[in-house]
Amino acid sequence: MLTVHHLNNSRSQRVLWLLEELGEPYEIRRYQRDAKTMLAPPELRAIHPLGKSPVITDGDVTIAETGAIVEYIVDKAGGRLRPAAGTPERLRWTFWLHYAEGSLMTPLLLKLVFDLMPQRSPVLLRGLVGAIATRAKAGFVAPQLKTHFDFLEAELGRAQWFAGAEFSAADVMMSFPLEAGAARAEALEGRPRLKAFVERIHARPAFRAALEKGGPYAYA
């Protein structure tokens, strides 16, 4: 049986959602973030040395990294939620599968780090650290995020889903950075197509089912 090693409030929510969309059988093993550091517990390292979520096991196979997990599950489901090879939709699908974690998450992570830096600094240094963080965000992170979100808003002008007219696993992959972008960086403000996309995915029965199984999720 395929097991999702599910860290609360994390990217593994996407994997549960994909499995629900495909109707593939799975079980969940749950892990809780440390309340103070928000890091995963050490037990997750026993499953995979990186100790990150998501990670899945399926018989002898252990897979980390959401994009690799998505490809494995889609293969297992006979290629459903993936456009046919050799089509323009398939090229777009592959692009979004890599882009979500490879490009879009980077400035979002930087935003999170710079947002947290002042409060995690020694009290006497907070003012200075805050000023440095504000400068880095204004000078580098915010323009990067604007470029990405404007690009995404334009891309959704071609079709309502990222790979084309049909919903696909690429939309599942793109959900997390867009939800994080909405929560941390006002990604949906003034971007009606991104807002409509997030509303559309939240309305899907499989998305709701995955939320019930996965537990509270701060980005949805």
Ligand X SMILES: N[C@@H](CCC(=O)N[C@@H](CS)C(=O)NCC(=O)O)C(=O)O
Contact status, residue 17 vs residue 207, Cβ threshold 8 Å: yes
| CB nearer to ligand X: pick between 164 and 169 | 169
Stretch that binds ligand X, among 51-59, 80-88, 151-159, 161-169 (CB under 6 A): 51-59
Residue 168 found at the interface with ligand X (CB under 6 A): no
- In the bound complex, what is the minimum distance in angstroms from residue 165's beta carbon to ligand X? 26
Among 17, 53, 63, 168, binds ligand X (CB under 6 A): 53
Cβ-based nearer residue to ligand X, 51 or 164? 51
At 186, list the tokens.
Answer: 């006002």
Least distance in angstroms from the C-beta of 5 to ligand X: 10
CA distance linking residue 87 with residue 95, whole number of Å: 13
Q: Does 172 bind ligand X (CB under 6 A)?
A: no
Is residue 48 within the footprint of ligand X (CB under 6 A)? no
Tell me: does residue 71 bind ligand X (CB under 6 A).
Answer: no
Least separation, in Å, of the C-beta of 93 and ligand X?
A: 17
Instruction: State which residue, 51 or 107, has the beta carbon closest to ligand X.
Output: 51
With contact defined as beta carbons under 8 Å apart, do 14 and 172 qualify?
Answer: yes
The residues, any chain, with a CB within 8 Å of residue 42's CB and separated by 6 or more, are: 51
39 binds ligand X per the rule CB under 6 A: yes
55 or 153, CB closer to ligand X? Answer: 55
Core vs surface per residue 109-127: b (16+ CB within 10 A) or e: ebbbebeebbeebeeeeee
* 40 part of the interface to ligand X, by CB under 6 A: yes
Size of the site for ligand X (CB under 6 A): 12
Q: Under the criterion CB under 6 A, does residue 66 sit at the interface with ligand X?
A: yes
**Residue 65 interacting with ligand X (CB under 6 A):** yes
| Distance of closest approach, residue 220 Cβ to ligand X, in angstroms | 13
Which residue number, 126 or 184, has a Cβ lying nearer to ligand X? Answer: 184
Binding footprint of ligand X on the chain (CB under 6 A):
7, 10-11, 39-40, 51-54, 65-66, 101
